[in-house]
Chains A and B, each alone.
Chain A
Amino acid sequence: MTEIRFHSVFDIIGPIMVGPSSSHTAGAARIGKVVRSIFGEQPEIVDIYLYESFAKTYRGHGTDIALVGGVLGMDPDDERLHDSLKIAHSLGIKVFFIPKKDKASHPNTVKMVLTKGDKKMSITGISIGGGNIQISELNGFKISLSMGTPTFIIVQKDVPGIIAHITEVLSKVQTNIGTMTVTRESKGEKAITIIEVDSPQINSTVKQLLQLDDIYSVNYFD
């Protein structure tokens, strides 16, 4: 049997979204939003490398405006998506689209490199159909985040004991951790923790995580 990629009826019926393509528009907006969330703040420069189908049809499908809209925090059903390139420009964000001829592991692949000052981060996302996405690379590390399961993305200071504090919060609210990825820019700087969980108590968890010392941002995706 092939890999089970779809778990919810709403992966099939939904999302409600701005047209025209669930993989090239809605999926792209979701990738952009996750990328922004992992980066943790507004970037100065966004380099967008597009592969295969994304490279060939990104303008016709609104993939460009959707990726940038996502980086600005917009959801797939946000009608401001149409104007995302203009909005990014007015915020002083420089965006570059670079269609690549290389083969990729999936026909709808995008690699985004976000830069702010000395901070640089690379994230690769794939859009697997019906608006569903996966994150396959983070700063050169291969990861596999389905983003179809409840996921917390936490940006924290790279200090001893911080991971223990985070997992303690989840433990207190009886939330089970499925997978966990921790990566950092450099020693003692910002680090990222991505946690996939089972049936979370979202509101209280996000609030409690934000109250911890040395936490910069907490985002939740379901």
Chain B
Amino acid sequence: MFYTIKELVKQAQEYSSIAELMIATEMENTGRSREKIVALMEKNLEAMEQSVRKGIAGVTSITKLTGGAAPKLDKYLKTGNALCGDTVVKAARNAIAVNEVNAQMGIICATPTAGSAGVLAGVLTAVRDKLELSRYRQVEFLFTAGAFGLVIANSSSISGAEGGCQAEVGSASAMASAALVTAKGGTPEQAAQAVAITLKNMMGLICDPVAGLVEVPCVKRNAMGATQALVSADMALAGITSVIPPDEVVEAMHRVGMQMPSIFKETAEGGLATTPTGLKLAKEIFGEKKN
């Protein structure tokens, strides 16, 4: 088992990849067979794909606050006139799709949480054709992301109520950037740098859900988390490194999360939740029933 990113990068040298290290560690920790572990991850991948497809086809949440953005972006993408490249727009579209399904209380795969489930699924389904990732390589992508996610979860947090949105979309984006680096042939060290670069920009992001719902701003933040993962990965692959080492960045994020007041930690008592519109929506949705 690895408890820091430094240990993770070092231990990965004894294996053919970070994914292999993660599978071996999982076998040791849980006593499950390799076949069983890989099969479980394949099931997660299938759930991600289904949620992407469902969201692009179009869904609407019960409150009608979210839904329909994925089909809009899909249509826009097909015009061929997007400012960003296809991969970036696809990643944003797919991430939104997953989180619109999540908001609608459909089935998703939490990565690392439900509120941030669009990032990893969105990025993976956007790059797999371009990178010609086989089915197994896609499963490996998830193991790599999970390895970095485990370190972040144990050294910091993956809960919005504990650490704000930086802990959720921030962690998801960092995990996705590391997996992207590896999928593109980068080294474990470059993947670690991508994690640092990503988290540095996500640091301090608050969790301020309007009406306490995982809809606004969660859905759009997933799109931004996904696109940032792509840019961070490209930076790391170009050889750019973080001045502050990855483990210190994770530690800093933990500290920021602890110091963040509870109004910014999934209580709907601050930020966008308490804007005039946010408060009005909360009243409309819950009306007099609100406790």
Contact = CB atoms under 8 A, between A and B. Distances in A.
Interface of A: 1-2, 4-26, 52-53, 56-57, 59-62, 77, 79, 81-82, 99, 106-108, 127-131, 198-199, 222
A105 to B, nearest CB: 12
B194 interface: no
Contacts of B108: 16-17, 19
B50 to A, nearest CB: 10
Contacts of A106: 162
Interface in B185-221: 209, 211-215
A61 B214 contact: yes
B150 to A, nearest CB: 6
A62 B211 CA distance: 12
Interface stretch (B127-135, B141-149, B224-232, B234-242): B141-149
A6 B153 contact: yes
Contact of B115 (A20, A62, A77): A20
Given A22-B114, A53-B265, 13 more contacts: A2-B155, A8-B29, A8-B30, A9-B25, A9-B147, A9-B150, A17-B107, A19-B105, A56-B212, A56-B269, A107-B161, A107-B267, A129-B160
A74 to B, nearest CB: 13
Contacts of A1: 3, 155
B43 interface: yes
A60 B114 contact: no
B187 to A, nearest CB: 21
B113 to A, nearest CB: 4
Contact of A18 (B105, B143, B268): B105
A25 to B, nearest CB: 7
Contact of B110 (A26, A61, A81, A107): A26
Contacts of A129: 112-113, 153, 157-162, 167
Contact of A130 (B31, B105, B120, B159): B159
Given A4-B3, A19-B102, A53 B114 contact: no
Binding site secondary structure of chain B: helix
B160 A23 contact: yes
Contacts of A21: 113-115, 214
Contacts of A6: 150, 153-154, 158
Contacts of A199: 30-31
A67 to B, nearest CB: 15
Contacts of A12: 111-112, 145-146, 149-150, 153, 158, 175
Contacts of A131: 110, 113-114
B101 A19 contact: yes
B161 A108 contact: yes
Contacts of B143: 9, 13
B150 A53 contact: no
A6 B111 CA distance: 14
Contacts of A26: 110, 114
B106 A18 contact: yes
Contacts of B213: 20, 57, 60-61
B11 interface: no
Contacts of A17: 107-110, 114
5 contacts: A9-B149, A20-B103, A20-B115, A57-B267, A108-B159
Contact of A20 (B26, B158, B214, B267): B214
A81 B25 CA distance: 34
A199 B142 CA distance: 24
Contact of B114 (A13, A20, A59): A20
Contacts of B157: 129
A94 B84 CA distance: 54
Nearest to A131: B110
Given A9-B22, A107-B266, A18 B150 contact: no
Nearest to B4: A1
Contacts of B215: 20
Interface string B1-42: 101000000000000000000100110011100000100110
A7 B29 CA distance: 7
A14 B44 contact: yes
Interface string B47-77: 1000000000000000000000000000000
A12 B26 CA distance: 12
Contacts of A107: 159, 161-162, 262, 265-267
Q: Among the interface residues A11, A130, A198, A222, which one has the most CB atoms of the partner chain B within 10 A?
A: A130
